[in-house]
Amino acid sequence: MASTNGETDQVLVEERSCGRIFMLNRPKQLNALSAVMVSRLLELFLSCAEDSSVKFIIVKGQGRAFCAGGDVAAVVHDINRGNWKSGADYFRKEFTMNYVIATYIKPQVSILNGIVMGGGAGVSVHGRFRIATEKSLFAMPETALGLFPDIGASYFLSRLPGFFGEYVGLTGARLDGAEMLACGLATHFVQSESLPLLEEALVRAASSDPVVISSIIEQFSHAPNLKKNSAYHRLDVINKCFSRRTVEDIFEALERVSADKKDDWISSTIQSLKKASPMSLKISLRSIREGRLQGIGKCLVREFRMVCHVMLGEVSKDFVEGCRAILLDKDRNPKWAPSKLESISDEMVDRYFSKVDDADWEDLKLPVSSRLPAYAMAKL
Amino acid sequence: MEKANFRTQILTRHLQNRAPAASGGAVSRAPCLSYAPPEATASFDVSSMRKLMDGHNLGERDWLFNLMLQSKLFNPKLRGGRVFVAPDYNQSMEQQREMTMKRIQYLLDRGVFEGWMTGKGIEAEMRKLALLEVITIFDHSLAIKIGVHFFLWGGAIQFFGTKRHHDKWLRATETFLMKGCFAMTELGHGSNVRGIETITTYDPRTEEFIINTPCESAQKYWIGGAANHATHTVVFSQLNIEGKNEGVHAFITQIRDSDGNICPNIRIADCGHKIGLNGVDNGRIWFDNVRIPRENILNSVADVSSDGKYLSAIKDADQRFGAFMAPLTSGRVTIAVSAVYMAKMSLAIAIRYSLTRRAFSITPNGAEVLLLDYPSHQRRLLPLLAKTYAMSFAGNYLKLLYVRRTPQLIKTLHVVSSGLKATLTWHNMRTLQECREACGGQGLKTENRIGQLKGEYDVQSTFEGDNNVLMQQVSKALLAEYVAAKRKNKPFKELGLEHMNKPSPTIPSRLSSSTVHSSQFQNDIFCLRERDLLNRFAAEVSKYQAQGESKESAFNASYQLAEDLGRAFTDRAILQTFVEAENSLTDASLKNVLSLVRSMYVLVTLDEDPAFLRYGHLTTENAAIVRKEVVSLCSEIRPHALALVDSFGIPDGFLSPIAFDWVAANAWSASRD
């Protein structure tokens, strides 16, 4: 294991012939992405892109999580000290990293053997291969925190089958490995006990050809059965309800289904929407809808504008409140403001999508890279 | 020698490529030519420009794009890693028709048509228009099938019907409890609706109307929805009461039961396969003394009492007929606007392709040149882009004129919608052809959309009024206005003719580059042409009349001037809407690029319409200056080309593979998927 100094121990790098293995190493925090980790990862991805001896990259997590998300506690701490701009710097770097991963020229294999949430999805889902296991647990829980699915989620959630992405993004529903594979968040499913052998095989093949890598992973993978009460079995209802134009319409559609027939899954779906920040629901839905019509770059630029407005708190301070209630005080009883969907006007929502009115502020500028593979080109 | 080296390198690469990809890795798989995305050099905010172009209901539009992208019913296909939706035109006519109905059901279930009949006010009308535009971007058949049901059938109920019809049919139409069609055109009569031969009489004993098709030329023809699906129709027919013909009236008639069986005394035949729009079931209908209850007459304009007396508040037969034609205006509005969206779509595809496809080097061993870097290619596409911008603003103006219509504005609406429907649909056909050719062989593939759209949209120059007839109506209306103003010696105050009250503008004998870019000059020269042609047209018609010709034959004989005048009126009206759109803006970067686009619109019109030279509005020297200026405008607009087409707001998935990575889309590996 190679590490250059104490700080960068949060990401361990292992050189295995032509492969590089990045290990997220902050297990006590479930590998939540600190600012240091984001910087380090970005630097690693960029340098490996240049290094002709590197053919592929594996990303995995230490302990029981792949990565539980971004370090929002630190960001809220910054906001509370009146320093939203350092939060903005964090997201700027994180989103840039998401973009680099999404347009990466060398294959990335992410081993999602545990919790994958928020920012953790940003490090993995944009990459070429995502391996789920029986231990995987995926969620985008941002609306419960007063945030919205960021890190380019408006790009990949909107491309899940039907309106499953809206469901996952708005409710924060948890998915297991089989569900991740079924909906396309994962490309393969491998039993965790086979992971060391898979890693060995990838290292031995030392190939940068996605076709070769794919066929190696396939040797270790199988198609798991969806659990009986999986949300993915409810895709029909999800499509019917979550395709509605507004959050209010989605509620109404769900309640109509629930009135027709008592159903625990529907009630818990309605419950999780009711617990979420109304403002978060509004901006998340619009973001996913716009994301479906945009490339990854535009999605990240839009999400960066949104996250800056969230931090600025001009329209709503739900992010600070959500983090207080869920992460800091842990009373799990956030007081959202505005507290109701109907008190949110279109103009309030529009604000989140506009440029930030601040002399020093700039839109997210994404690195330009030439000669991208078709896989990455298709995302632009 | 260098050329030989180059060939050797290519050959070597071919030979090396025979090694299996697995051992070689990514490098050996690189094609000889790789796709490079168009360089993005937007000097303005694309989303603000899109807001100006689409004009209204952006959230609803995006929602509907989302709905179509996420359903298998819209035939998503993966090409080069991207998903594109488009109908499968390789399906049989019958399959295409069934798909159209399935798509309608899907959109209905998702709430798309909510409020289309029962919604009130301008907001509801604009929402409906926006959603129909999005639908037309996916497929013309789908838009027409929906348009016939809501705008023609539904519109007839709304405008010709009264409360009893509204209560019975509006909500039922909105929820597709029934499917409506609109039986106006006959085999023997199309544009001349007053000449239709279907006859309706009244039987006071049973209080029924009796509708009859007296001869083969009276069969209803091209009736969209009639061949397979429609359950009800509005029939247009002469109404004969007590031996007197009261002119054309409209009646509701059921033609199928709810199981789809054709009703007694109705005969229906299929119009068969067409050059496009095969997802619409156009049919022919014969009525064999079909009896319908008295309340089925759409009686907002005229009625028949139970004892068989004809009653109408409008005594004048011409005016009565005019009232009946009102719903056709909505058709002309939606046709004009959808034509602009198709021009946008084909330009977005062809311009994106021209920014990534290269052909020929102009230096030895130099890189091949991008298509859009050839001045000649710019001249083919960029003027059409400018016209499309201008006509997009005109379309937005027309929509507002339509939704805010008042009885005083009916004439303006009729004239403007006629001129714009003809001009915008002709422009679209020309643009489609040019874009098809500009994409070379790729333009011939159905999956690349443009070529197919030629067949799909050709009908636009014919339905809801033949374009040539409509343009003559414009000139006729202008002449009437002229005659009235002169006779009463009063100023012009309608149809945008107010400029005729001022002294004739003067055009400098030698134009400078700054003059031709000024909106003052641009407005002047368009007004000058219109004024001059109107004077000439009036003079020629009255000359023929003085020779003893009737007004009608004098008009027919003056058709050349009538055509020139119709164009002059429409171009001037379009320019005005452009200037108004510019004036609504504060953003300097948008204003700057739009002023280039406006100048291009005007100057290319001056360059292409021989009327300016023919009637001496431009000297030959000035015409040469204008022509040169078009070339330099092409190079000025060239850097904005990508951002200008991105501003059309058509999502990538509704364009086509050649608009993006066409190398990946056509790779061997993709051909095996």
**What are A291-301's pLDDT values in tens digits?**
999 999 999 99
Predicted pLDDT of residue A342: 96
B540 among known catalytic residues: no
Under DSSP, the state recorded for B376 is H
Alpha-carbon distance A265 to nearest alpha carbon in chain B (angstroms):
21
Beta-carbon contacts of residue B26 (< 8 Å; ≥ 6 apart): A105, A208, A209, A373
Helix (H, G, I), strand (E, B) or coil at B110: coil
Percent of chain B with pLDDT over 70: 95
Residue to substitute from B23, B110, B355, B671, interface A, most A β-carbons within 10 A: B110
Taking 90 as the threshold, does the pLDDT of residue B209 lie above it? yes
Choose, from B197, B464, B481, B629, the residue flagged as catalytic. B464
Q: How far apart are CA A220 and CA A217, in angstroms?
A: 5
Both tokens of B396, joined, read 């937005």
Q: Do A290 and B62 touch (CB under 8 A)?
A: yes
Continuous segment of H or E residues that includes residue B450: helix B450-457
Q: How far apart are CA B657 and CA B671, in angstroms?
A: 13
Q: How far apart are CA B264 and CA B243, in angstroms?
A: 27
Chain B CB contacts of A207 under 8 Å are 22, 25
- pTM for this structure? 0.94
Beta-carbon contacts of residue B121 (< 8 Å; ≥ 6 apart): none
B80 near A CB under 8 A: yes
Predicted pLDDT of residue A372: 86
Q: Do A374 and B80 touch (CB under 8 A)?
A: yes
Q: CB-CB: which of B34, B62, B81 is closest to A378?
A: B81
Predicted pLDDT of residue A8: 57
Beta-carbon contacts of residue A67 (< 8 Å; ≥ 6 apart): A24, A30, A31, A32, A33, A61, A115, A116, A117, A119, A120, A123, A124
Angle at A73 between CA A70 and CA A75, to 5 degrees: 80
Q: Which residue of A has its CA nearest to B29?
A: A209
B70 near A CB under 8 A: yes
- Beta-sheet pairing, B199-203 with B220-224: unpaired
Beta-carbon contacts of residue B311 (< 8 Å; ≥ 6 apart): B302, B303, B304, B305
Q: CB-CB: which of A158, A245, A375 is closest to B60?
A: A245
Q: How many CB atoms within 10 Å of residue B614?
A: 11
Alpha-carbon distance A72 to nearest alpha carbon in chain B (angstroms):
30
What tens digit of pLDDT does each residue of B427-437 get? 999 999 999 99
Predicted pLDDT of residue B669: 81
Q: How confident is the model over B230-250, as a mean pLDDT?
A: 96
Q: 3-class secondary structure for B163-180?
A: HHHHHHHHHHHHCCCCCE
Q: How far apart are CA A14 and CA A57, in angstroms?
A: 10
Taking 90 as the threshold, does the pLDDT of residue A3 lie above it? no
Cross-sheet strand order for the sheet of B220-224: B220-224, B282-287, B266-270
Taking 50 as the threshold, does the pLDDT of residue B24 lie above it? no
Angle at B295 between CA B290 and CA B301, to 5 degrees: 105
Q: How many CB atoms within 10 Å of residue A370?
A: 7
Lowest mean pLDDT among B177-186, B250-259, B360-369: B360-369
Helix (H, G, I), strand (E, B) or coil at B80: coil
B65 near A CB under 8 A: yes
Q: CB-CB: which of A209, A239, A244 is closest to B25?
A: A209
Q: CB-CB: which of A161, A371, A375 is closest to B34?
A: A371
Q: Which residue of B has its CA nearest to A250?
A: B110
Left, alpha or beta for B265 (phi > 0: left; psi -120 to 50: alpha)? left
Q: Do B22 and A207 touch (CB under 8 A)?
A: yes
Chain B CB contacts of A371 under 8 Å are 34
Q: Do B59 and A286 touch (CB under 8 A)?
A: yes
Q: Which of B244, B251, B331 is nearest to B290 (CA)?
A: B251
Distance set, CA B461 to CA B130, B164, B335 (Å): 22, 36, 9
Q: Do A240 and B37 touch (CB under 8 A)?
A: no
Q: Which of A140, A158, A155, A135 is nearest to A60 (CA)?
A: A135
Q: Do A209 and B21 touch (CB under 8 A)?
A: yes
Predicted pLDDT of residue B19: 39
Distance set, CA A101 to CA A18, A59, A340, B107 (Å): 18, 11, 37, 37
Q: How confident is the model over A182-209, as a mean pLDDT?
A: 97
Predicted pLDDT of residue B30: 42
Q: What length is written for chain A?
A: 380
Chain B CB contacts of A103 under 8 Å are none
Q: How far apart are CA B246 and CA B255, in angstroms?
A: 25
Q: How far is CA A266 from the centre of its chain?
A: 24
Taking 70 as the threshold, does the pLDDT of residue B310 lie above it? yes
Q: Do A292 and B34 touch (CB under 8 A)?
A: no
Q: Do A377 and B26 touch (CB under 8 A)?
A: no
Residue to substitute from A236, A242, A243, A290, interface B, most B β-carbons within 10 A: A243
Q: Do B21 and A207 touch (CB under 8 A)?
A: no
How many pairs of residues across A and B have Cβ atoms under 8 Å apart? 80
B313 near A CB under 8 A: no
Helix (H, G, I), strand (E, B) or coil at A14: strand
Q: E strands, B159-293, where?
A: 180-183, 199-203, 208-212, 220-224, 232-241, 244-254, 266-270, 282-287, 290-293
CB B605 within 8 A of CB B516: no
Taking 70 as the threshold, does the pLDDT of residue A122 lie above it? yes
What tens digit of pLDDT does each residue of B537-553 get? 999 999 999 999 999 99
Name the CA dihedral angle for B154, B156, B160, B164, rounded to a multiple of 10 degrees: -30
Q: How far apart are CA A258 and CA A267, in angstroms?
A: 7
Alpha-carbon distance B443 to nearest alpha carbon in chain A (angstroms):
21
Q: How far apart are CA B233 and CA B219, in angstroms?
A: 14
Q: How confident is the model over A181-202, as a mean pLDDT?
A: 98
Q: How confident is the model over B119-139, as a mean pLDDT?
A: 97
Q: Do A380 and B37 touch (CB under 8 A)?
A: yes
B185 is annotated as contributing to ligand binding:
yes
Q: How confident is the model over A268-291, as a mean pLDDT?
A: 98
Report CA torsion sign: A185, A186, A192, A196.
Answer: negative
Predicted pLDDT of residue B41: 74
ipTM for this model: 0.95
What tens digit of pLDDT does each residue of A135-179 get? 999 999 999 999 999 999 999 999 999 999 999 999 999 999 999
Taking 90 as the threshold, does the pLDDT of residue B140 lie above it? yes
B653 near A CB under 8 A: yes
Alpha-carbon distance A240 to nearest alpha carbon in chain B (angstroms):
7
Taking 90 as the threshold, does the pLDDT of residue B322 lie above it? no
What tens digit of pLDDT does each residue of B215-224 get? 999 999 999 9
Taking 50 as the threshold, does the pLDDT of residue B135 lie above it? yes
**What's the start-to-end Cα distance of chain A, in Å?**
35
Alpha-carbon distance B650 to nearest alpha carbon in chain A (angstroms):
9
Q: CB-CB: which of A162, A370, A378 is closest to B82?
A: A378
Q: Do B110 and A244 touch (CB under 8 A)?
A: yes
Predicted pLDDT of residue B25: 41
Half-sphere exposure of residue A142: CA atoms within 13 angstroms, side-chain side: 34
B20 near A CB under 8 A: no
Give the DSSP letter string of A328-352. Answer: IS-------SS-SGGG--HHHHHHH
Q: Which residue has the tokens 């818990």?
A: A268
Indicate the pLDDT class of residue A7, thresholds 50, 70 and 90: low
Taking 90 as the threshold, does the pLDDT of residue B275 lie above it? yes
Q: CB-CB: which of B26, B34, B111 is closest to A244?
A: B111
Predicted pLDDT of residue B316: 83
Mean of the per-residue pLDDT values of chain B:
94
Taking 70 as the threshold, does the pLDDT of residue B284 lie above it? yes
Q: CB-CB: which of A159, A207, A378 is closest to B661?
A: A378
B258: amino acid identity, one letter: S
Percent of chain B with pLDDT over 90: 88
Chain A CB contacts of B663 under 8 Å are 374
Chain A CB contacts of B38 under 8 Å are none
Q: Which of A110, A105, A22, A19 is nearest to A56 (CA)?
A: A19
Q: How confident is the model over A195-222, as a mean pLDDT?
A: 97
Alpha-carbon distance A134 to nearest alpha carbon in chain B (angstroms):
29
What tens digit of pLDDT does each residue of B553-571 get? 999 999 999 999 999 999 9
What tens digit of pLDDT does each residue of B635-653 get? 999 999 999 999 999 999 9
Q: Which of B365, B370, B340, B366 is nearest to B352 (CA)?
A: B370
Q: Do A212 and B652 touch (CB under 8 A)?
A: no
CB A196 within 8 A of CB A245: no
B78: amino acid identity, one letter: L
CB B394 within 8 A of CB B424: yes
Query: Radius of gyration of chain B from Cα atoms?
Result: 28
Q: How confident is the model over A371-377, as a mean pLDDT?
A: 86
CB B248 within 8 A of CB B120: no
Q: Which of B232, B207, B235 is nearest to B298 (CA)?
A: B235
B224 is annotated as contributing to ligand binding:
yes
Continuous segment of H or E residues that includes residue B23: helix B21-24
Alpha-carbon distance B229 to nearest alpha carbon in chain A (angstroms):
25
Predicted pLDDT of residue B383: 98
Query: What residues of A act catalytically?
Result: 70, 119, 142, 150
Q: Do B664 and A374 touch (CB under 8 A)?
A: yes
CB A59 within 8 A of CB A14: no
- Beta-sheet pairing, A65-67 with A115-117: parallel
What tens digit of pLDDT does each residue of B34-58 get? 888 888 778 899 999 999 999 999 9
